[in-house]
Structure formats: structure tokens, C-alpha cells
Amino acid sequence: MTEREVDALVSCAMQAREKAYAPYSGFSVGAAVLTGSGEIYTGCNIENASYGATCCAERVALFKAISQGESEILMIAVVAEGEEAVPPCGICRQVMIELAPQAVVVMSNLEGKRERWTVQELLPNAFAKSSME
């Protein structure tokens, strides 16, 4: 991926963040997923009074891509407010291992501070399909 492509994906995640529904935490997150077909799918966090029904931005974007028939996820950008780039939560990491095991995850704060990790680095020794064989 070129830096221009990474910048574009992060920009999409920032725009998605604007649509977040976060009345309880006040913590808005946006995500964008780049697929092997070149399509970009975005998502934002959507909270619920029953916290277990909340869905993170990363999962929304991934689920949108998969539900549209995408099978190869190349990169996931995640944007949130904070002093540092905010990493995905544990549930999102588990979903990434399942749906995007080879993807690169770019985490960014609103000021543009970024970190880049592979999904494998974010969740080493993960419980995955192979664990059930």
C-alpha cells in the first residue's frame, strides 16, 4: 500500500467517525476497510443502552464488506480521539482474525498520529478456525 492509499483509507475512517452513535461513552470511532476488489467499506460505533448490543466501528465495516460478498480484506483503518492511536478492542481483534487474518491495521488519532500492525501481531496465538480442527 502506498502512503497515499493509507491516507485515503484513514480519511474515510475519519468521515465515518462523524456518523457514530455514542450517547453513552461519548467516544466516537470510525473505521474503513479496503478489500481485494478495491472497494472501501466504512463503519462507525453504534452504542446501545444494553451495552452488549453495542457494535464497534471495525466490526460494522467488516460486516458490511463481507455481507456484500467481499472475501479479501487488505487493510483496516481505525480512527478515534486520544493522545495516542487507539487500538481495536479484543472482540474486534477476534473478528479480524476470522475475517481478515492477513490484513494490516492502521490506527490513527484525530491529529494523525498512526501505528501500523498486522492482525496477527494484534492477536498472537489466537483462537481461530485451525484451533477447532
Q: The cell 494484534 sits on which residue?
A: 122
Give the other-Cβ count within 10 Å of 105's Cβ: 24
The number of domains in the chain is 1
| CATH code of the domain in which 105 resides | 3.40.140.10
Query: Which residue range(s) make up the domain with 118?
Result: 3-132
pLDDT averaged per 10 residues in sequence order, the chain, 133 residues: 93 98 98 98 98 97 98 98 96 98 97 97 93 90
pLDDT, position 1:
79
Instruction: State the pLDDT at residue 108.
Output: 98
- Are the beta carbons of 54 and 83 closer than 8 angstroms? no
Angle, CA of 12, 100 and 73, to the nearest 5°: 50
Rounded to the nearest angstrom, the gap between the alpha carbon of residue 66 and the centroid of all alpha carbons in its chain is: 13
- Return the sign of the alpha-carbon dihedral for residues 32, 57, 77, 125: negative
- In the set 5, 58, 83, 98, the catalytic residue is 58
Kindly report the pTM of this predicted structure: 0.95
Please state, in angstroms and as integers, the Cα–Cα distance from residue 120 to each residue in 37, 79, 90, 94, 125, following that order: 22, 20, 13, 10, 8
Residue 20 has a pLDDT of: 98
Q: Is 58 a catalytic residue?
A: yes
Contact in structure between 44 and 19 (CB atoms under 8 Å): yes
Nearest Cα neighbor of 86 from 53, 63, 113, 121 is 113
Task: Output the pLDDT for position 24.
Answer: 97
